[in-house]
Structure 1
Amino acid sequence: MLPFNKPYFTGNETKYIESAVSSGKISGNGDYTKKCQSFFEQNFGIKKCLLTTSCTDALEMAAILIDIKPGDEVIMPSYTFVSTANAFVLRGATIVFADSRKDHPNIDENAIEGLITSKTKAIVPVHYAGVACEMDTIMDIAKRHNLYVIEDAAQAIDSYYTGKDNVKRALGSIGHLAAFSFHETKNIISGEGGLLAINDEKFINRAEIIWEKGTNRSSFFRGEVDKYGWVDIGSSFLPSEIIAAFLWAQLENLEQIQMVRKNHWESYFDKLATWARENRIELPQLPDYASNNAHMFYLICDSLEQRTKLLDYLKQHDILAVFHYISLHESPFYDKLHKGGVLPETDRFTDTLVRLPLFYELNPNVVIDVLLKAAF
């Protein structure tokens, strides 16, 4: 069976892990942690970065930083992973789900403003498949209504947004806060792992405290205070140096990994274009303002029945393709709490989206050749 995903190893992961172990500093916030954080700050224009044990943790830190409390409302797409919502639900927030765009699973920026109430605290755009949401509109809405923007950039490393000012900005560097993932299914991996990106300087000091279990330990080790103690809420969000060492080996090879993935993505797009059109299947669409980081290649079928046939056909030919999110507004946990009505585009993507295998060592022609022999 050709897998949907296969983690790629550069060859230096175990070397750097051995280096971290031999240093005697493996508990976190050591040299490899600092290397990874500096990489994001210097390469993607982020003011301050903190490694976390997961993207989920980074989102939970963001919810704490903006002081989410019971009764607050947070607007986000329904077509996303549960962690996007859980981070705010854990603090007592009510989630207000917005529909997706017609041409892309990203949040429909034109649906946001009508969902804002006096209780709204934040907007959480999710850059699905590493493709940018329309951030100029979202940031303008947030500014006019005094709201925070937290980018869920889990899939969006090395992806960019070009705004109306013609300036290209890295995803994760635009909102007040952002969260990245290094789960083994992502472009750059550490097994599990994440990163909190801080673009509003007022959050930096408190973020370090929350990151260090609610203590001012980081300030102590910088010599800014003569002792450290419990000064705020927090948790054990920072990862071990072993995870950071693994991640550093990946980040060093970001350019090469991205080049290969983009070549695979473009092979899919170019060679399946005619076949897709003949079978009433849509290929991914990239807005003019968005770059492509080749996180994912997906197809949009014209019905649930067609998708089922397509997945079964690929499985019969030993290729594992998968669908993706189930609409959160219709989930067993939240369906009775959702008050936003029908979200037709979200439900359409839930029923019709198929993700094809995409990983570094893939030969995309194996999948392409099988698909070109079939009609749906």
Structure 2
Amino acid sequence: MIPFNKPYLTGKETEYITDAVASGKISGNGKYTQKCQKFFEEKFGFIKCLLTTSCTDALEMAAILIDIKEGDEVIMPSYTFVSTANAFVLRGAKIVFADSMQNHPNMDTSKLESLITPKTKAIVPVHYAGVACEMDTIMDLAQKHNLYVVEDAAQAIDSYYTGKDGVKRALGSIGHLAAFSFHETKNIISGEGGMLAINDEQFIQRAEIIWEKGTNRSAFFRGEVDKYGWVDIGSSFLPSEVIAAFLWAQLENLEEIQKVRTQHWDNYFKQLRSWAEEQQIGLPQVPEYATNNGHMFYLICKNIEQRTALIDKLRKQDIHPVFHYISLHSSPFYAEKHDGRDLTETDRFTDTLVRLPLFYELNPETVTKQIIS
């Protein structure tokens, strides 16, 4: 059987977890938490990083930090996972969904300004498949209309955007805030896990308080205050050292993992290109301003019938592709709250996109042979 995903273990995970347990500090914000956070800050240029128990938690922290209130509007793609929207809905926001581009599930930035109203508070670009949204336009609009930008970089570790100034920046380092995922389906994993990246210094102090259940506990342990207490809203967003220790073993092998995954992606593309042209099936597109981090390989079928037939064919061979997402604007929870605009491209991707298995130990040729046969 070839599963859709198989978590890759480097061999050091249990060693570091044992070390964390033996240290007597396993509740969080210990040695491994700090090592991971420093790694991200130094490698990718984030001003401050805070590990969380999930990307969902990081997004919820972002919504609190930018002070989302009842009636605020937040612009985001409809073609995304429910956590992107939930984090802001929980604070009372109205979600204004943007359509996807014609050639990529990322939001169509050429149509964003028409969605901005006096109630708009933030734009949340989602870097689908680890491929950058067109961030210059988004940041220019944010500056023009005094909006916050929260990057949903759940799939975008070690991926980059080159702007009109020619500078190459890590995804997650461009917006005011960003959220990453280390779920077991991602390139770098900790089972469950995530991270908030902070790129605007005004948020650093409050983020740490929200992270620690609304207390200034971290400042107390650094000797900055003589006692700690409840000073703001917050929750238990801080992960245990066990999660951080697992993540550290992965981060030590980031370059090797990325090398193998991008090789798999390239092999898929080369082996399927001719077949896809014959079948009128689309392959993933990576714009000139973006890089490919090998997070996922997908196909865009002509219609839902073709996709269903392809999935059925592969599953009969014990190969397990998946499709997603169901457009959020047409979901049972939000359909009546949506403003009624047709999101044609989003609906097309909902009906036609299928993800192929992609994990470290995969041999892509075993999948492509069955697709082409």
Bin for the TM-score computed over the shorter chain: over 0.9
Question: What does 1:62-141 align with in structure 2 at a 5 Å threshold?
Answer: 62-141=62-141
Distance in 1, Cα, partners of 2:111 & 2:337: 19
| SS at 2:298 equivalent | strand
Partner of residue 351, structure 1: 351
**8 Å CA contact 1:73, 1:93 repeated in 2:** yes
- Bigger drift between 58-67 and 339-348 goes to 339-348
Partner of residue 213, structure 2: 213
Q: Which whole-Å deviations, capped at 9, do the CAs of 1:319-372 have from their partners, x for residues lacking one?
A: 001101000000000000000411000000000000000000001010011112
Q: Which whole-Å deviations, capped at 9, do the CAs of 1:265-311 have from their partners, x for residues lacking one?
A: 00000111000000000000000000000000000001011001100
| SS at 2:61 equivalent | helix
Deviation at 1:316, TM superposition (A): 1.0
Give the letter aligned to residue 74 of structure 2.
Answer: V
Distance in 2, Cα, partners of 1:332 & 1:359: 32
Partner of residue 28, structure 1: 28
- Bigger drift between 9-18 and 338-347 goes to 338-347
TM-score calculated relative to the size of structure 2: 1.00
Deviation at 1:251, TM superposition (A): 0.3
Partner of residue 203, structure 1: 203
Partner of residue 194, structure 1: 194
Partner of residue 61, structure 2: 61
Partner of residue 154, structure 2: 154
Give the letter aligned to residue 110 of structure 1.
Answer: S
Partner of residue 6, structure 2: 6
| SS at 1:114 equivalent | helix
Q: Which runs of 5+ in 1 are unaligned?
A: none
| SS at 2:346 equivalent | helix
Partner of residue 233, structure 1: 233
Give structure 1 regions of 4+ aligned residues with deviation exceeding 4 angstroms.
Answer: none
1:274 equivalenced with 2:274 (yes/no): yes
| SS at 1:245 equivalent | helix
TM-score calculated relative to the size of structure 1: 0.99
Distance in 2, Cα, partners of 1:61 & 1:110: 29
Question: What does 1:151-190 align with in structure 2 at a 5 Å threshold?
Answer: 151-190=151-190
**8 Å CA contact 1:136, 1:163 repeated in 2:** yes
Give the letter aligned to residue 146 of structure 1.
Answer: N
Give the letter aligned to residue 148 of structure 1.
Answer: Y
**8 Å CA contact 1:96, 1:340 repeated in 2:** no
Deviation at 1:207, TM superposition (A): 0.1
Deviation at 1:111, TM superposition (A): 1.5
Between the two proteins, what is the percent identity of the paired residues? 78
Partner of residue 17, structure 1: 17
Give the letter aligned to residue 192 of structure 2.
Answer: E
Distance in 1, Cα, partners of 2:235 & 2:318: 44
Distance in 2, Cα, partners of 1:139 & 1:29: 32
| SS at 1:320 equivalent | coil
| SS at 2:140 equivalent | helix
Question: What does 1:256-271 align with in structure 2 at a 5 Å threshold?
Answer: 256-271=256-271
Question: What does 1:294-333 align with in structure 2 at a 5 Å threshold?
Answer: 294-333=294-333
Give the letter aligned to residue 36 of structure 1.
Answer: C
| SS at 1:49 equivalent | strand
Give the letter aligned to residue 71 of structure 1.
Answer: G
1:48 equivalenced with 2:48 (yes/no): yes
Q: Which whole-Å deviations, capped at 9, do the CAs of 1:100-143 have from their partners, x for residues lacking one?
A: 00010001111111000110000000000000000000000000
**Count of residue pairs the alignment pairs up:** 373
Distance in 1, Cα, partners of 2:96 & 2:363: 41
| SS at 1:46 equivalent | coil
Distance in 2, Cα, partners of 1:220 & 1:298: 48
RMSD: 0.5
Distance in 1, Cα, partners of 2:20 & 2:365: 40
Deviation at 1:250, TM superposition (A): 0.2
| SS at 2:106 equivalent | coil
Q: Which whole-Å deviations, capped at 9, do the CAs of 1:224-248 have from their partners, x for residues lacking one?
A: 1111110000000000000000000
Distance in 1, Cα, partners of 2:205 & 2:321: 44
Distance in 1, Cα, partners of 2:372 & 2:302: 17
Distance in 2, Cα, partners of 1:146 & 1:107: 20
